[in-house]
Structure 1
Amino acid sequence: MMLLRLDRSMSSVTIPPPACMLRPLEVPLRYLFGPGPSNVPPRILAAGSRPIIGHLHPEMYEIMNDIKKGIQYAFQTENNMTIAMSGSGHAAMECAVFNTVEPGESVLIAINGIWGERVAEIAERMGANVHRMVKTPGRYFTNTEIEQAIKKHKPVLLFLAHGESSAGLCHPVDGIGDICRKHDCLFLVDTVASLGAAPIFMDKQNIDILYSGSQKALNAPPGTAPISFNDRACHKMFNRKTKPVSYLFDMTHLSNYWGCDGKPARVYHHTGPVSGFFALRESLAILAERGLEESWEKHKEVAAYLYRGLEDLGLKLFDLRLPSVTTIAIPEGYDWREMLTYIMKHHCIEMTGGLGPSIGMVMRIGLMGYNCEKTNADMALHALADALKNCKKSKA
């Protein structure tokens, strides 16, 4: 009788298979010269296509252990509490705030682009008392300004974007961690757009929580996000009065899943992105083989080459530039959307406009990791020159 009922229910399909799903997948070839994701090199694509294994297999744990060591190298930290989130950089962003801040606690957010805005909203959603320091995109905060704000608001956490990709800004970090320690405040830093492209030293710069993403200078596909907590952050995180608002991002569970809590057995928490971890491990292996110093120097060299070419085209650049993402002021009289559409149509190159508060102010070019080559800079410059020549310029 049960089988009869099952057969009857299975025969009641009324929505036919969609025609689009009966066609083969087609993905165009694009040069991803925007702020991310970047083009993924064949070696990392091949790693991600390896046969799936179980997320709780001993071999998977070994791969996760390798990823942890790779992140420690990339971050320049010895922190034991170092993992990769199952998700994009936003997952690490939320994990950092959810685990170290409790409802009602004061947090201070440095906002000079979209990422500070996002962290402020995340902190408000979980009930924190959010204080904002705001500057226009491309401007930076002095250590004196930061210390004055910390004295005033007495936050448990200060957020700063090291790589503010919406404005192409690489923010100075030296000394800020010392100020935070002086005032018993945790220092949270976003390096999604800068890791592997610009120097960052988690331990030496007294950064308490650092996170990044897989899809920019690391060149892995989007979907995994390195994050690390030092002992100060762990003490705050594991001695809270309330549970974090997110179960998925609760570090009491994730620390066990990643073998960071010292317990002999890892207990099931969630199914990690196995193929994504394969690709992330390979990207970190490439970074280790190449060496951080060489990666930083290569990004600096190619960025300088791009800057010269942009200035030769008469384009205006911002100061304190990220070597991975370059922002240019929208050329006077041009429609930036028309220019970007023209470049995509005629050159198959992705460049982007601003993001958040920088929309309508800038266009952005990203040459990161695998894409960080002078030949790619030449392609970008040629495409921009062509757009400047062929796109309509207003008479105003």
Structure 2
Amino acid sequence: MTTVIPGPAIPGPVDPPARLLMGPGPISAYPSVLRAMSAPLVGQYDPFMTTAMAETQELYRAVWNTTNDATLLVDGTSRAGIEAAIVSLVRPGDRVLVPVFGRFGHLLAEIAERAQAEVHTIETEWGQVFPASVIEEAIVRVKPTLLALVQGDTSTTMNQPLEDIGAICARHGVLFYSDATASLGGNAFDADAWGLDAATAGLQKCLGGPSGSSPITLSERAVEVIRSRGRIEAGIREAGDVAASDFVLSNYFDLGMILDYWGPRRLNHHTEATSMLYAARECARVLLLEGRDDVIARHELAGRAMLAGVRGLGLGVFGDVAHKMTNVVAVEIPEGVPGDAARSALLEDFGIEIGTSFGPLHGRVWRIGTMGYNARKDAVLTTLAALEAVLRRFGAAVPAGGGVEAAVDIYAGAA
């Protein structure tokens, strides 16, 4: 006799509450991105699909400000792009140098260790960035194959200057990779001019989309390194008599195979995440339609207004503000205010989400983002007004209207 296992209670359709996502990401997506994701699916080799893939590649060349032919998407969150870049560029035993100025530098180091690299790190105090001279000194000492460097680290809100790093890497024969997940689209990023060999990002920050797709761009030099490695696909060993240790450790994140999938031969590797492709295409289209420099300027203005607003409420700001990302600020939690309870009140009573933090900053700061679709005046002012009300409820003495007035002054001065 067959035992019938009771099924679950069937829930209703997905119906999320209204939220204004003003944390460090994910953020509220552009409405047109959400509409794009609801478009009908097509087969992965349908002419519409392959055309959409080619269009997406061209759009992201403009987003990255590069002529790299190898500009495409890795299916997965921004961490998927990071892992694909590192495991495909690094051979076991290669030296990798990771300058760490926040949580996500530690992530790059961990992924490189999992790729069996010999990982070397240098660290600076959270809230600071590295002078180029310090990075060059470490390169001379370590002699790495790859420098892996976060541009914008949301854990500290810092934006590491990259302008001089590519030339340093070129002088010493080092591949240069940057994780631009939190910064691309809201801060300057010039892949070619800055000498990047590889860079990855995600949609869920300044690009104004959902998490789940990772744009990546690769220089010709990086592609040569990737192509020089062996492949095992469907039981067929390629690339001659290379050592087993020379094969990329991951099948899914093997950029050599992914490049063939996105290239003219369209060699099957995986089934492209169609709805995420639509989202990524629309994120880039919206950005370029507004104008790449104009979007960066909008982020800068919104970030400056939020910074003035929290200061107008009498709140302190963590870190070297001169090197802060445009799109997120770390606000010091006033003494006596329970950080998590105040965040919960913002969410429950106003539908506004702001972020906590990690490691040494947990319980010390909130992280407030102004990025993508939410890098706009009404979102900034609404958040500041709600934050003032919550702070008052928890006993903080803040100037009445101080945050909103300070932010309005920034917008008025920019008009």
The two structures have a TM-score, normalised by structure 1, of 0.92
What is the Cα deviation at residue 330 of structure 1? 2.2
Residue of structure 2 aligned with 1:335, choices 314, 334, 338: 338
Task: Verify: 1:131 aligned to 2:135, yes or no.
Answer: no
Contact 1:66 1:281 in 2 (8 A): yes
Residue of structure 1 aligned with 2:367, choices 360, 364, 368: 364
Counterpart position of 2:82: 93
Residue of structure 1 aligned with 2:355, choices 333, 352, 372: 352
What is the Cα deviation at residue 251 of structure 1? 1.3
Worse overlay, 62-71 or 315-324: 315-324
Equivalent residues in 2 for 1:173-188, closer than 5 Å: 173-188=162-177
Task: Verify: 1:387 aligned to 2:390, yes or no.
Answer: yes
CA deviations on 1:61-112 (whole Å, 9 max, x unpaired) are 1101111111110100001111111001000000010000011111011111
Counterpart position of 2:5: 15
Counterpart position of 1:28: 17
In the alignment, the residues of structure 2 paired with residue 238 and residue 361 of structure 1 have an alpha-carbon distance, to the nearest angstrom, of: 46
In the alignment, the residues of structure 2 paired with residue 24 and residue 370 of structure 1 have an alpha-carbon distance, to the nearest angstrom, of: 26
Counterpart position of 1:307: 307
In the alignment, the residues of structure 2 paired with residue 382 and residue 220 of structure 1 have an alpha-carbon distance, to the nearest angstrom, of: 26
In the alignment, the residues of structure 1 paired with residue 128 and residue 305 of structure 2 have an alpha-carbon distance, to the nearest angstrom, of: 23
Aligned to 1:245, the other structure's residue is in SS state coil
Worse overlay, 325-334 or 354-363: 354-363
In the alignment, the residues of structure 2 paired with residue 123 and residue 357 of structure 1 have an alpha-carbon distance, to the nearest angstrom, of: 23
In the alignment, the residues of structure 2 paired with residue 49 and residue 220 of structure 1 have an alpha-carbon distance, to the nearest angstrom, of: 13
In the alignment, the residues of structure 2 paired with residue 22 and residue 336 of structure 1 have an alpha-carbon distance, to the nearest angstrom, of: 33
Equivalent residues in 2 for 1:1-396, closer than 5 Å: 12=2, 14-19=4-9, 21-240=10-229, 242-259=246-263, 264-317=264-317, 318=319, 319=321, 320-391=323-394
Shift of the 178–13 alpha-carbon distance from structure 1 to 2, 3 Å rule, reads: farther
Structure 2, gaps ≥5 residues long:
230-241, 397-415
**What is the aligned length?**
379
Counterpart position of 1:6: none
In the alignment, the residues of structure 1 paired with residue 75 and residue 21 of structure 2 have an alpha-carbon distance, to the nearest angstrom, of: 23
Contact 1:113 1:358 in 2 (8 A): no
Q: Which amino acid aligns with 1:278?
A: Y
In the alignment, the residues of structure 2 paired with residue 276 and residue 200 of structure 1 have an alpha-carbon distance, to the nearest angstrom, of: 23
In the alignment, the residues of structure 1 paired with residue 220 and residue 361 of structure 2 have an alpha-carbon distance, to the nearest angstrom, of: 36
Worse overlay, 299-308 or 325-334: 325-334
Contact 2:185 2:287 in 1 (8 A): yes
Counterpart position of 2:239: none
CA deviations on 1:194-220 (whole Å, 9 max, x unpaired) are 111011100001011111101111112
Q: Which amino acid aligns with 1:311?
A: R
Shift of the 376–232 alpha-carbon distance from structure 1 to 2, 3 Å rule, reads: same
Contact 1:114 1:166 in 2 (8 A): yes
The percent of aligned pairs where both chains have the same amino acid is 34
What is the Cα deviation at residue 360 of structure 1? 2.8
In the alignment, the residues of structure 2 paired with residue 266 and residue 357 of structure 1 have an alpha-carbon distance, to the nearest angstrom, of: 47
Structure 1, gaps ≥5 residues long:
1-10
Q: Which amino acid aligns with 2:258?
A: L
Shift of the 362–185 alpha-carbon distance from structure 1 to 2, 3 Å rule, reads: same
Worse overlay, 198-207 or 53-62: 53-62
In the alignment, the residues of structure 2 paired with residue 310 and residue 112 of structure 1 have an alpha-carbon distance, to the nearest angstrom, of: 24
Aligned to 1:17, the other structure's residue is in SS state coil
The two structures have a TM-score, normalised by structure 2, of 0.88
In the alignment, the residues of structure 1 paired with residue 359 and residue 93 of structure 2 have an alpha-carbon distance, to the nearest angstrom, of: 27
Q: How large is the Cα RMSD of the aligned pairs? A: 1.6
In the alignment, the residues of structure 1 paired with residue 168 and residue 262 of structure 2 have an alpha-carbon distance, to the nearest angstrom, of: 31
Q: Which amino acid aligns with 2:267?
A: V
